[in-house]
A = this chain, B = another copy of it.
Amino acid sequence: MADPVTVGPEVFLAMGREVLAKQPFSVLIGAELAALSPGRCELHVPVSASVKQQHGFVHGGVVSYAADNALTYAGGTALRVPVVTSEFKINYLRPAIGERLIARAEAVHTGRSQAVCRCDVFVVLDGEEKLCAVAQGTIAALPASPAA
């Protein structure tokens, strides 16, 4: 990855979108990267019929996907190396009913090998954002490969 310090915000976001476009699952559910900067991320998931559960709400698994992926972007851009999600925890606050999920994550602490991040997931209904889940997790740097 090019050094994010030396690239402009638009290039940085474009790089992030390139990664997202290579995730077949993110493509499947239509996830969009709305904003990205070091240690911060905003990920959207438009609410289509296919991401719902039996009561018409967005499936919890989709809400947790949004949190997981936003946490990973926040941690990865904070650490500036290839990363994996080690773990996270999510509390669901209300049924996600609306047109769009917005997951906003930020790194609250960045160490040498991991970043701890928080994420708020909102659902947009009639243009109004409502907080529907909060998450917290650890993003870990991948060990350097021998050839690196």
Q: Chain A interface (Cβ within 8 Å of chain B)?
A: 19, 22-29, 49-54, 59-62, 64-66, 68-69, 72, 84-95, 108-109, 111-114, 116, 118, 131, 134-136, 138, 143
**Inter-subunit contact A19/B65 (CB<8 Å):** no
Known: A19-B54, A65-B64. A25 touches B138 (CB 8 A): no
Complex partner residue of A88 from B22, B28, B89, B113, CB under 8 angstroms:
B89
Q: Given the complex, which residues of B lie within 8 Å of A51, measured CB to CB?
A: 24-25, 28
Known: A134-B109, A134-B136, A143-B112. A25 touches B61 (CB 8 A): yes
Is the contact region of chain A dominated by helix, strand, or loop, or is it mixed?
A: mixed
Known: A61-B68, A65-B59. A91 touches B136 (CB 8 A): yes
**Inter-subunit contact A138/B52 (CB<8 Å):** no
> How many copies of this chain does the complex contain?
4
Q: Given the complex, which residues of B lie within 8 Å of A90, measured CB to CB?
A: 87-89
- Please name 13 further chain A to chain B contacts, defined as beta carbons within 8 Å, in addition to the given A28-B50, A64-B88, A85-B92, sorted by A numbering: A19-B54, A25-B53, A25-B62, A28-B28, A60-B69, A84-B95, A87-B91, A91-B116, A91-B136, A109-B134, A112-B143, A118-B136, A138-B138
**Inter-subunit contact A134/B112 (CB<8 Å):** no
Known: A65-B61, A89-B88, A116-B134. A52 touches B23 (CB 8 A): yes
Residue among A61, A113, A143 having the largest count of chain B Cβ atoms under 10 Å: A61
